[in-house]
Chains A and B, each alone.
Chain A
Amino acid sequence: MFDWKWDFVWEIMPRLLVATGNTLLAAGAGYAIAIVLGLVFALAQRGPSRLLAFVVRELVEFIRSTPLLLQVFFVFFVGPQFGIRLSPWTSGMIAIGLHYACYLSEVYRGGIESVPRGQWEASTALNMSTIQTYRRVIIPQAIPSSLTGMGNYLVGIFKDTPMLSVIGVAELVHTANAIGSEHYRFLEPLTLVGLIFLAISLPAAGLIRLLEGYVRRKLGM
């Protein structure tokens, strides 16, 4: 029955903390890819080419409605079939980055569409190019309304990193499983992993809410 062993907890804690570092690294790197790629996807859907907009739209829909776990397997296993070998980390980052890029592109799209039309007209009147308009007028104003969504997906990507364990990325769940099968004890490692996730995601969600309020006040909204 209930036999929680504290000395076992202290014994495995260092390994779990290293794994926590890996989880944070995976989430951070994946998010960095997603932020940039998401903007590309969002702008491509608003670009002059109808064909490109259509293709990107369908791609985003496809990736958003299929499981990330399957995409992780797809990226990891399909490369070698065609002679491209990707490490677990590389394929994991590609899969999770691409998946969240699609979510973020929707967030950006919403943000860009929330900027009033008058801003575009004013920029045209000032003889600004499209790129200048986006960079100096539209995107800065789209950021505040995108912040909530961006923050939610940052926490979301953090909680989805355990899916990378299936291809051997040594993040928290992978490490907990390894410890569990070495010692035939799953109670402590899995419970600790759950607590570590809570200890990071709850304060993170709180911080994001504070930041959001701060940015809104700063921009006088």
Chain B
Amino acid sequence: MTIVEFLSTYWPRLLTGTGVTIVQFFLAAFLGVAISLVMGLLKLSPNRMLRGFAISYIEFFRGTSLLVQLFWIFYVLPLFGVSIDKFTAGYVAVGMNIGGYGAELVRGGILSVRKGQWEAALAINLSPAKRMWRIILPQALVNMLPAWGNLMIELLKATALVALISVPDLMFEARQINGSTFLSAQVFGTALVIYYLLARFMITPFMRWLERFMARKLGMV
């Protein structure tokens, strides 16, 4: 079977799989960014309890495998009475995992803002929350965006693991088609190319645009 015949037969399934992958990506990204922000800020908190909590979270999610976390959330949590469907379990596990990595980026980004900015914000009598939200975070964001670009690609790759708890994403569809046809080179090759196109021609250009946009907004060009 040539690649053209293959694609004309199986494109609907590959397309719906890609759709599920994209939805999983966005949900996990949303959750991951939120967790990163919270944990990154907590790790810089003066309160030892809060700091300890953030450190445990980050070390736990960075110290174990995503696959173990995913299986644990999907197979073990129901034993404690918390049953979540596979679709939710998928993006929650990926998002929580990425949150652990992102928290370190947030922390590094905040620490990279020059000291004068903190002092100036203090001098004009901004409250701590306002100082963080209006002065420090926007500048931290510009500093950490390039690293976030890489993390977003890692996130896209991580979503492939949700196929292992039967979320029908691109990876899952590819495996199903391979199981019924054994056209491995065609199906896995196509799936690899789709992931590559998503990473190279959607995520990377978007993050580049965001970097330029933020830099312009803060007048840092």
Interface residues of A (CB under 8 A from B): 1-2, 61-62, 64-71, 73-74, 77-78, 80-82, 159-163, 165-166, 172-173, 176-177, 180, 186-187, 190-191, 193-194, 197-198, 201-202, 205
A166 and B164 contacting across the interface, CB-CB below 8 Å: yes
CB proximity of A180 to chain B, nearest CB, Å: 7
The chain A residue with its CB closest to the CB of B64 is A197
Residues of B within 8 Å of A74, CB to CB, are 184, 188-189, 192
* Complex Cα spacing A190 to B184, Å: 31
* Complex Cα spacing A82 to B189, Å: 14
Also in contact, A194 and B188, with CB within 8 A (given A2-B80, A187-B79): no
B200 and A201 contacting across the interface, CB-CB below 8 Å: no
B199 and A173 contacting across the interface, CB-CB below 8 Å: no
A77 and B184 contacting across the interface, CB-CB below 8 Å: yes
Known: A65-B199, A205-B63. 4 other contacts (CB 8 A): A67-B158, A69-B163, A73-B174, A197-B63
CB proximity of B131 to chain A, nearest CB, Å: 32
Lowest 10 A-B CB distances belong to which pairs?
Answer: A67-B160, A77-B184, A65-B199, A162-B67, A74-B188, A197-B64, A67-B157, A186-B75, A66-B195, A201-B63
CB proximity of B21 to chain A, nearest CB, Å: 10
The chain A residue with its CB closest to the CB of B158 is A67
Residues of A within 8 Å of B65, CB to CB, are 159-162, 173, 197
Q: Interface size (B, Cβ < 8 Å)?
A: 40
The chain B residue with its CB closest to the CB of A203 is B63
The chain B residue with its CB closest to the CB of A172 is B68
B171 and A69 contacting across the interface, CB-CB below 8 Å: yes
Q: Which of A68, A173, A202, A205 contacts B71 (CB 8 A)?
A: A173
A interface footprint on B46-67 (CB within 8 Å = 1, 0 otherwise): 0000000000000110011111
Residues of A within 8 Å of B178, CB to CB, are 73, 77
Q: Which of A70, A80, A160 contacts B174 (CB 8 A)?
A: A70
A191 and B196 contacting across the interface, CB-CB below 8 Å: no
A62 and B196 contacting across the interface, CB-CB below 8 Å: yes
* Complex Cα spacing A155 to B98, Å: 16
In the complex, which of the residues B71, B81, B196 has the most CB atoms of chain A within 10 Å of its own CB atom?
Answer: B71
